[in-house]
Amino acid sequence: MPPGPSNQIAIIGAGVVGLTTALELRARQTPVAIYAPRSGRSPASRIAPALFTPYSMPDGDRFERWTTRSLAKLTELAWEHGDHSGIHIGELREYFYKPAAHYPWLDRVLAIRPLPGTPSPCIAATTSTRPHMDMLRYMPWLEARASESGVEFVDRRVESFDDLFALGHKTIINCAGLGARELAQDPLLKPMHGQVIHIPNDIGLEYSLHDDAPGGLVAYIFRFRDRLVLGGTFDSGREDDRTDPPALDGIIDRCRNLLRIDGHPRWRDLAQIRIRSLAGVRPTRGMGDVYEHTRVERIDLPGGRAIVQNYGHGRAGASLSWGTAAEAADQALGSPGDP
């Protein structure tokens, strides 16, 4: 039977979560159509820098499963496709001013080890190698892979699940990021605004850097092939896509301090030239300090119809997406998975 709504699984959303879910379904020989508007606000996935930085979640088992699966897949893609995929494995140095929560399994899979000579006033410094996803190249690469594998793209905003059931789809996977707030009527989904600055790597930095917010806001410098990305800001509840000059200046001050702590001789020269600044909105889901109550859950409906929810990846969607995609794909094909 040629692919059409009656035998295709419908995915809502073409961010990193929707695209990886489509690819997991195609790997299981399943016809897929992705519904997403081509115009309008850029999805979070196109703004993220993004480094493999999983944030802890309330459910430890799922966190471990999603994280290890994603890490394995991202590493495989980096080795198999090299620069074409936009992913490379690079060093991250982290500086800590306060005690951090540690997951022995995560330390082990990322081979996190102490950096010799912790600089004052930090209490610890570590180094590890991990995937760096250059989303300006990784997202188009994922899209091309999805098209080549036979995924149909439909330029359309979905107003309700019934729209897609009315077309004949039996199973829908909701990967709409923040758009899931209306579709699934989920009050736990909230926007978290973030700003980043792209600059040329004219100081010759050979690794990435991160700290744990000595003054209340983290600083990070992520190194990609043709630029450095400086961040970040985390404004909960804010939903626009504007950048603010004072926030951008604050990022640069914090990143220069991070580079100084690292002992880089050219810390004062950082960000003399800016290429662009970007703002995006992370689809966080949670309460209090936990922002990644990511939802992967199958809901069965009368008439053999089903919805699989796959959203709420918050600050870590690029890191977690392959893990949640595999689970959502299995659930869509009938495995109940975890609630």
Q: How far is the CB of 296 from ligand FAD (least distance, A)?
A: 11
Structure-block tokens of residue 54: 């999983």
Helix ranges (DSSP H) in 149-244? 161-167, 180-183
Q: Which is nearer to ligand FAD, 13 or 86 (CB)?
A: 13
User: Residues 144-183 vs ligand FAD: string with x where CB under 6 A?
Assistant: -------------xx----------------xxxxx---x
Contact call for residue 17 and ligand FAD (CB under 6 A): yes
Task: Please name the amino acid found at residue 34.
Answer: I
Q: Which is nearer to ligand FAD, 118 or 252 (CB)?
A: 252
- Give the integer Cα–Cα distance in Å for 38 and 30: 24
Q: Which member of 5, 31, 49, 214 binds ligand FAD (CB under 6 A)?
A: 49
Amino acid (one-letter) located at 26 = R
Judged by CB under 6 A, how many residues of this single chain contact ligand FAD? Answer: 41
Contact 244, 195 (CB under 8 A): yes
Classify the C-alpha dihedral 243-139-285-231 as positive or negative: negative
Using CB under 6 A as the binding rule, whether residue 251 contacts ligand FAD is answered as no
Q: Which H or E run includes 20?
A: helix 16-27
244 near 222, Cβ under 8 Å?
no
Confirm or reject binding of residue 51 to ligand FAD (CB under 6 A).
Answer: yes
Kindly state whether residue 106 participates in binding ligand FAD, applying the rule CB under 6 A. no
Does position 238 interact with ligand FAD (CB under 6 A)? The reply is no
Q: What's the rounded Cα separation, in Å, for the pair 140 and 162? A: 30
| Residue in 74, 315, 324, 330 binding ligand FAD, rule: CB under 6 A | 315
**Which residues inside 180-209 make contact with ligand FAD, applying CB under 6 A?**
183, 194, 196
* Alpha carbon distances (Å) from 65 to 9, 57, 68, 337: 24, 12, 5, 12
Neighbours of 334 (CB within 10 A): 10
| Angle, in degrees to the nearest 10, between helices 317-332 and 16-27 | 40
Nearer to ligand FAD, 11 or 270 (CB): 11
Q: Does 296 bind ligand FAD (CB under 6 A)?
A: no
How far apart are CB 7 and ligand FAD at their closest, in Å? 21
Nearer CB in complex with ligand FAD: 243/266: 243
Judged by the rule CB under 6 A, the positions of this chain that interact with ligand FAD are: 12-18, 35-37, 43-45, 47-51, 53, 157-158, 175-179, 183, 194, 196, 232, 280, 282-283, 311, 313-319
